[in-house]
Each structure stands twice: as C-alpha cells, then as structure tokens.
C-alpha cells in the first residue's frame, strides 16, 4: 500500500537445477517461503485505554530487497547439511 513496488528477475540455470535435483517450482516455493512480509505487532492494540483512537500495525523490513539477499535463499537442505 505504501511505498513503491519492486521486482526481482531471477534467471534459472537448467543444468545447475538438474545437478541439484531441483525444479523451477522448488525455487519458486523457496522464494515465497523466505520472502515474506511479517507484522511485528500493533500500536494501540487490545486491551486499549478508553477513548484511544490510534491502532496501527507495525511491519518490519522482512522482505528481500537486494540481489545478495536473494542469492542467500536456501533452496534445498540435505540431512547431512
């Protein structure tokens, strides 16, 4: 709602995906799971003082914004680490 929208284009290497036994869907799922916007809490939430007129949701900077952050997404974790 507030601020500008951003996008990140990610190019997949089919040979590398195959060598790690990954699919484009695996990559998409990992990005969706690790690039989320999380509410950190509320200001003026319940229980509220009588007559209180402010109620705001606090949202932290949890979405990925740089190429380096996207490069660090975990796509697959094996039992041996």
Q: Is the separation of the CB atoms in 57 and 39 below 8 Å?
A: yes
Break the chain into its structural domains and give their ranges.
14-71
Strands (E), the chain: 39-43, 56-59
Alpha-carbon dihedral angle through residues 48, 50, 51, 53, given to the nearest 10 degrees: 0
At residue 26 the predicted structure's pLDDT band, cuts being 50, 70 and 90, is: very high
| Residue 28, pLDDT above cutoff 90 | yes
Q: What is the pLDDT of residue 31?
A: 92
pLDDT digit string, tens, across residues 48-68:
788 888 888 777 667 888 899
Q: What is the pLDDT of residue 4?
A: 66
Q: How far apart are CA 34 and CA 4, in angstroms?
A: 20
| Residue 30, pLDDT above cutoff 90 | yes
- What CATH number has the domain spanning 14-71? 3.30.2090.10
For the chain, give the mean pLDDT.
85
């Amino acid at each position: 709602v507030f601020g500008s929208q951003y996008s990140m284009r990610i190019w997949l290497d089919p040979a590398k995906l195959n060598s790690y036994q990954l699919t484009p869907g695996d990559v998409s799922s990992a990005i969706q799971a690790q690039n989320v916007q999380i509410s950190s809490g509320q200001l003026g939430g319940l229980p509220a003082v009588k007559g209180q007129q402010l109620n705001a949701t606090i949202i932290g900077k949890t979405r990925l914004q740089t190429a380096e952050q996207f490069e660090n997404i975990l796509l697959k974790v094996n039992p041996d680490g």
